[in-house]
Structure 1
Amino acid sequence: MALGCLSDDLKNGGGCVGGLSASMKYVIYADVEIDGIVEKPDIIGAIFGQTEGLLGEDLDLRELQKTGRIGRIQVRVSTKDNKTVGTLMVPSNLDRVETALIAAAIESVDKIGPYSAKVKVTKIEDLRAKKRKWIIERAKELLRKWEEEEAPESRKLAEEVLKAIRAAEVISFGPEKLPAGPEVASASTIIVVEGRADVINLLKHGYKNVIGLEGATIPKTIVDLSKKKTVIAFVDGDRGGDLILKNLINVAEIDFVARAPSGREVEELTGKEIAKCLRNKVPVEEYLEVIRKEKPTKVLTIREEKELG
């Protein structure tokens, strides 16, 4: 039985068929060469017979195997040119010193059946090291899976906290105390929306250069800002948005126009929808050209109007 079954045993918590139990500490590997044709039982019998009494009763292979301190000896052989060659695997639950003594005793076997033989230990493998390595790799795998499952929820919680913080960033701007983001005064470009709820929604999604009109009448603060900054008018996709936009364009220097999708309000848009609307903004001249044309009675977004035009 190949040692490769050990990793499966570690996963399943069981022992390996043929004696390579996951409870064993070490495995002795040895090469064997016999000057004749023999069978596996001949090799195993020679090992037990020729090591008997060598190391005293405490390290007698038969007794050790009965008590489970030595596992079943595994033998693989092949024959060629009237010789038998193969490998031995001897599982051990002894300590390091005792395992090394058993390995040396096995090497002392010099006759198998009627033929001369040579046994050479090639290595002693620490199964616990293999088990530790498997445990570490498995732990990494479990941790990666755990993080993949938990991270989205953690990110969602972090986003909720961040949104709450950003909502608290609403300031009062100008003599009219208009709701605004903290960067309206310093930003070279500002986003003008209809009301406080719109301001809060944009702040939640990271737009700090936003300011609200708070009514159909255009405040002087907005007019003054439009003379010094690039202004994006971002209104609802309904008739009310059309009217506010018309008033804005009449009294302030608006540079770009962005609108929510038809029938939607800016305050209810998601971050992705806000970004798309702002990305699709059009110069005010283009907007004015569109509204001069005849339109269907339903309210259209600017992009829809452009396509119809």
Structure 2
Amino acid sequence: MVVAKFSIDGLVDKPDIIGAVFGQTEGLLGDQLDLRELQKSGKIGRIEIDVNQSGSKTFGKLLLPASLDRVETCILGAAVESVDRVGPFEASFAVDRVEDTRAEKRRKILDRAKSLIKQLLSTEIPDSKELAEMVQNEVKASEIGTYGPENLPAGPEVGKGNEVIIVEGRADVITLLKNDVTNAIAVGGATSNIPKSIIDLANEKEITVFVDGDRGGNLVIRSLLNVLEIDYVARAPDGKEVEELARKEIIKALRTKVPLDQYLGLDKAQKQQAATNRKEREMQQHSTNFREQNRDREREHERDRERQREQVPIRPQAPQMPSQSAPFHRGQALPDGQSDEDFNISEKPFIKDLRADAPDDEAENDGRLQTMEPSQIEPREEQAKPILESVILGQLSNGLSDLSGTLRSRLYAPDGNVVKEIPIRELLSTLQDTRGIYAIVLDGVITQRLVELALERNIKAIYGIRANPMPRRHPELILYTKEQGKIE
């Protein structure tokens, strides 16, 4: 077993560290010592990470179990030390020690052999029936073979029956063979590169996925769901692996298998309330922003109307008629030397068309009041544009909730319709071949590479689970995550 210590200049999670180890050692030592190939063949076990975080740094211990010889194990340890980055952060790995776990196993074997000898001497020699059963169990364990061009570890009945059980590794297949389950095949762990033989089997047979009772088991199921249809899901008890189970536990787990839909419901039940609360908060925030935008537009329109009123010329006032409530009597002094006759005429109803009597230039000005210049009228499309963008951003938030736990992404058009829904691993290549995308929603991490490609394609928004630290801000691009909300 390789025991290494590491230090990273940033905050990262366990999957990030494991991905960096696999990614930066891939192809470094050839196919025979490639970590993925060794894990598929069962020559190395699952990498265990013990993580501690302090301030803005991450440090801890890495455990890499291996069933190789001493020289090959030490070569793997040196390869681990070559990892110098985890995500965007610099990192350093140093092998603390290489333990020979076989010595401890030998000691246990010797102790067990002594115990068996004492037991054999103190009991009777087994009869012929017991001897036959012992031999039969050994033969079952030796029946493991391979399936397909990928030489996947499999039981002898995989290609014959109508049901197939998919497990993680070779050790799981051997355990099931010892307990009379002969239709199991190993997929090779939580990998995004599912063998084609597994996909072909899923198209022809009823598939049951039997995984460990830990987070790795969930990752295996999610990886398989991206490329094939699963009928049933069986899980080992919490904290246990399939290869550790006794016969009774294996039988119980397979008998209590559940349909995929029911499993997904159980898996999401614990997250349902939290997701609902997040969605309500996001919708409330979008609604608040929408109301504020409407108020801002109303205030702007009111200021425009005030400016237009100030530019309107003053129209001529009609002569004031004498008030009917206070009629003029003959003999009363007239203002400005008017005569009775003049006033009699002015007492007649005063009806006058001001526009007809107004000068030509005033009439023209009055006409301009009735037909405003097109530049003074805001186009309806421009008025509706902020409203449309707000609605689309609300759809993006809903889409992010819909994609939770699927490892998929969606591309949205400017009208808010979904153009494509694809696995995250195909997102970058699809963006390079697709035009007219308005926004991206993904159940994953927003990376610097994705942001740069989005800017090249004139994309306006990216919604994701979380985002890596960005060296600089891009005001023309909206970045939104579930963890941080809108990134300013």
TM-score, structure 2 normalization: 0.29
TM-score, structure 1 normalization: 0.45
Larger relative contact order (Cα-Cα within 8 Å, sequence gap ≥ 6): 1
Larger Rg: 1
